[in-house]
Structure formats: structure tokens, C-alpha cells
Amino acid sequence: MKKILALALAAVMVLSLAGCGGGGGQSSSEAPANTQAPGATQAPGSSSEAPASTEAPGNEFAGQSFTMTFTTGDNYAQDAIMNQLDKFQEKYGCTIDLTMAANDSDGAYIRTAIATDSLTDVFNYNVGSWLTALDPETNCYAIEGEPWIDQISEGYRAIQSSQYNGHVFMAPADTSNAAGVLYNKKVFEELGLDIPLTWDDFLATCQKIKDAGKIPVAAPYVKASNTQIPYLMGYFYVQQENPNFAEDYTTRKIELHESEAFVYSLQKLYDMYPYLNEDFLATGMEECAQMLGDGDAAMMVIRTNIISTMEGVCPDKINDVDFFPLPDKDPNKRGISCWMPAGYAINKNAKNLPLALKLFEFLTSQEGIDAYTEITTPKGTFALNNIDLSGLELAPAIITAQNWVTEASSPCLEYFCPIKGANMMNITQALCAQDITVDDACKQIEDDNAIDAQQKGIPGWE
């Protein structure tokens, strides 16, 4: 049914398919109580009723078509997404003229399409501050008034509405990526370890693991960008300290070093050095996943997509692994940061707007999610409400992470603030190896971000 039109634009970065949920404090020192597979990924206050059927009486879209661009990347769920599109076409007797394009890090492919008036009816893109580059209020169709809009989680909508005058342009294309500590339950049981509730507890736990002859933290840092994850996941605590941090920093009312919580997130990356696998700068995700599954390493400070890596290298060990938040100073305030899923947007001048909107209705429905889970088990939580996942065999770490997403989570800073220097991963790589101090790293990130803000012409950074 799909017609693949083109393959274009090689690039090096991939979509950030990660975290969902709004901020919030966690007063209990215990992990969220529910450790069973959630029956639904339901936002607080939303209806428990499933949405009305998306059946199209009379199949009024039979024989119709629309165009769509799908930028690919390092995405384990691409086959599941393609199955959603197939099921949609089968249901409505329509055709998606699909262009497959290699993902580009700065949106050049989509921006070029806009500039040349060749933008397809539907396209996928990163949500949040990245969307600004597309001038969405000029080029994208606003969906906040659609009858199915409440199917999209409040957190996913808020990232957009807070930046674009209340408008929502994107529906989530995949699952979130929650960040925290993945740990081997058998190792913790063998060594008599409790889940650490403070950063000092975490370091003490690492030392006990090291004394027992095991690797406390497996670090896949051959890929420099992975060194950013332990630092970026600290934004939950930054937001707890200052809920307006993203706006204050974007407008330069505050500098990074003025946030104690921000500096502490860098300190954690520095502190882990003695507890990493000794060849961490030459070790990849597969090796670390194997070490974690086998119990040679007790923990990874990583995002939940490591579960998909474990499926490839040690699928029989996935149930031995669970999840807890990277702790901070207060045992009663623990939470996680999330990488939001990329989303789909509709061209404001779409040639077949009704059919494009029907696709969005389908993708945000139970029927659309069933088409996704028919192919793959989710490695994160859908940024949708009223979705029943009770029949799926989810990994324990995903279940626990979902509970933390619901109870105490925040999207990462980058979804609210467009400033991110190009050299950050090199700075965090040097910091995790203790080649530079925490103060050095903070100053270098500030300088790097200032260059980025000036290049983007952000007011206050002249």
C-alpha cells in the first residue's frame, strides 16, 4: 500500500525518542507503589473511558491519498511504526505516498522542503524547542482543537503550548525514554544492597559493589554523547529548585553556575569515575548491556532504551534488571528526567487535511497502539492517555520507570530551551574521565552555550 518515493540526506544524529510527563515533586522515599504492568498510561485527571472507535462509516477515504515524509534514525521501533501506517491504509482504503529520508540533526531536510514549497502533508520531527526552526505557527497545522486532542498526554502538549502561544502542532510518533539507574536485582540481593536514596548513598553502594569485585557502573562512553546522559537527567532536580529555570536561562536572567542543582548534576558525573569499567571510553552499549545482564556490572546510568539493546544481546536477562531514579541530596525528593518522543506534524497547506487528521486520530487511539505493539514491545511509555497495555509482557524496568514518569518526572531542559552548545559532549566526556574539574566543565558549558545562543540570535545573548 505504501509507495516509497525517495531515500535522501545522510546525517549522523538520530531522533531523540525519549521521555514524557510534566514535572512534580515526589515526597515519599519509596519508589511508586505499583510494580505491575500498568493498565493504561493515563494522565492525572483524564477520563478512564476509552476513546470512541475510529471506524470510518462508509469508508469515505477509499481511493484517497496523502504525502508523508518519515526521517529514519537509530530507531528500534521503525517496523512497528510502518505497521501502524499499513494498518491505517488497510482500514481506510487509502494510500500514503511515503518518502523515507535519513534523519538530519538540524532539520535541514524539512526546512529545505518548506523553502522550496515541497513539504509533504505529514512529516515527523523533534518536539519542543527544535520545532522553532520550522516557524510552526506559519508552516504547521494546529491540532489543539481536534476532538481527540486529549488522547495526547498533558506533558507532551505543554512542551508545545508553553512555547507557541497555546498551540499544539505535534502528536507523538513513538515512546518516551526515561533516564535513571538500571540495576541488576540479583547482584543487589547477593550483596545485600538497598536502593540508594541520596547521592552519598549511591557512592557508598558503588564502593560496596567494587569491594565485592564487580563493576559498580557500566558506562558505554565510546559514544561521547552518552556521557551527557547522567548530567542531563539532573534537570528534574534543577526544575525542583527553580520551576522557571528554562525561561530564566533562555532570557539570561540566570547563569548555569548560579543553580546549585545544575552544578550538582555535573558533580555526579565527576564522582562516578572510580566506579566505571576501566575501559569506559572504549566500551559500547552492547558490551555494557551484556555486563549488566550477566551481573558483572551492577548498574548503568542510562535511558530505558538500553532494554532494546538487552533484547539483542541477553534477552533472557531482561527480567533480572529494574530501575530507580539517580538520587540527589534529599531522600524524599527523587525523580527522573525524560527524553520525549519525536512527533508528527501536518503541513498547514496540506492537500488532504481531512485524511491527515484521520491518521493522527488513528495513531493516538488504542487501535493505532495495538498496531505498534503487534510488532514490538514498548521500551518506554507512550505519551498518550487511555492506552491499555495490560496484555503486554513489559520488562520490570519499563514498568518501574513508567511509575516514576507518572509520579515524579520532567522533560529534559532541551525541550524547553533552544540553547545547547555544539561542544557539550566533549566537555562531559572530559569531566567523566576527571580530566577537568566540575567548575571547569560548568564554565566551558556556559561559554559553549553563549556561542550557540549568539549564533541563534536569542535576545539577551548579544
Least confident stretch, 5-9, 102-106, 438-442: 5-9
Using one digit for the tens of pLDDT, what is the confidence trace for 233-242?
A: 999 999 999 9
Using one digit for the tens of pLDDT, what is the confidence trace for 386-399?
A: 888 888 888 999 98
Positive or negative: CA dihedral 272, 273, 278, 284: positive
Number of other residues whose CB lies within 10 A of the CB of residue 6? 10
Q: By C-alpha distance, which of 182, 153, 117, 130 is closest to 41?
A: 153
Number of other residues whose CB lies within 10 A of the CB of residue 9? 14
Using one digit for the tens of pLDDT, what is the confidence trace for 337-348?
A: 999 888 999 999
Report the relative pairing of strands 122-125 and 65-72 from DSSP bridges. Answer: parallel
Q: By C-alpha distance, which of 279, 239, 224 is closest to 25?
A: 239
Q: By C-alpha distance, which of 268, 267, 278, 264 is closest to 219?
A: 278
249 pLDDT more than 80:
yes
Average the pLDDT over 395-412 and give the result. 87
Using one digit for the tens of pLDDT, what is the confidence trace for 194-225?
A: 999 999 999 999 999 999 999 999 999 999 99
When mean pLDDT is compared over 16-20, 69-73, 105-109, 219-223, the highest value belongs to 219-223
Residue 103 has a pLDDT of 64
Least confident stretch, 40-54, 330-344, 364-378: 40-54
* pLDDT confidence band for 286 (50 / 70 / 90): very high
Domains 3-176+342-407 and 177-338+419-455 share a fold: yes
* pLDDT confidence band for 75 (50 / 70 / 90): low
Residue 58 has a pLDDT of 52
Residue 108 has a pLDDT of 82
32 pLDDT more than 60:
no
Residue 16 has a pLDDT of 31
The three state secondary structure string of 216-231 is EECCCCCCHHHHHHHH
25 pLDDT more than 70:
no
| pLDDT, mean over the chain | 86
287 pLDDT more than 50:
yes
Integer Cα distance of 383 and 174 in angstroms: 8
193 pLDDT more than 90:
yes
Least confident stretch, 54-63, 272-281, 448-457: 54-63
Using one digit for the tens of pLDDT, what is the confidence trace for 120-131?
A: 999 999 898 888
The alpha-carbon radius of gyration of the chain (Å, integer) is: 22
Q: How far is CA 6 from CA 68, 111, 352, in A?
A: 11, 17, 21
Integer Cα distance of 233 and 229 in angstroms: 6
Q: Under CATH, what is the fold of the domain 3-176+342-407?
A: D-Maltodextrin-Binding Protein; domain 2 (3.40.190)
So where are the chain's domains?
A: 3-176+342-407, 177-338+419-455
Residue 41 has a pLDDT of 36
* pLDDT confidence band for 410 (50 / 70 / 90): confident
Least confident stretch, 52-56, 64-68, 143-147, 239-243: 52-56
Residue 306 has a pLDDT of 94
Burial track 344-368 (b if 16+ CB lie within 10 A, e otherwise) = bbbbeebebeebbbbbbbbbbbbbb
Q: By C-alpha distance, which of 203, 204, 209 is closest to 271?
A: 203
Residue 415 vs residue 73, higher pLDDT: 415
Residue 435 DSSP code: S
Report residue 304 as a C-alpha cell: 530505558
Integer Cα distance of 364 and 372 in angstroms: 11
Integer Cα distance of 341 and 319 in angstroms: 24
Burial class (CB in 10 A: 0-12, 13-18, 19+), 191: middle
Q: How far is CA 52 from CA 119, 144, 360, in A?
A: 31, 18, 14
Integer Cα distance of 55 and 185 in angstroms: 45
Average the pLDDT over 130-156 and give the result. 92
- Give me the helices (H) in 295-379, please: 306-313, 353-363, 366-373
Torsion of CA 209, 215, 218, 222, to 10 degrees: 150
Angle CA 245–250–256, to nearest 5: 60
Q: What is the CATH number of domain 177-338+419-455?
A: 3.40.190.10
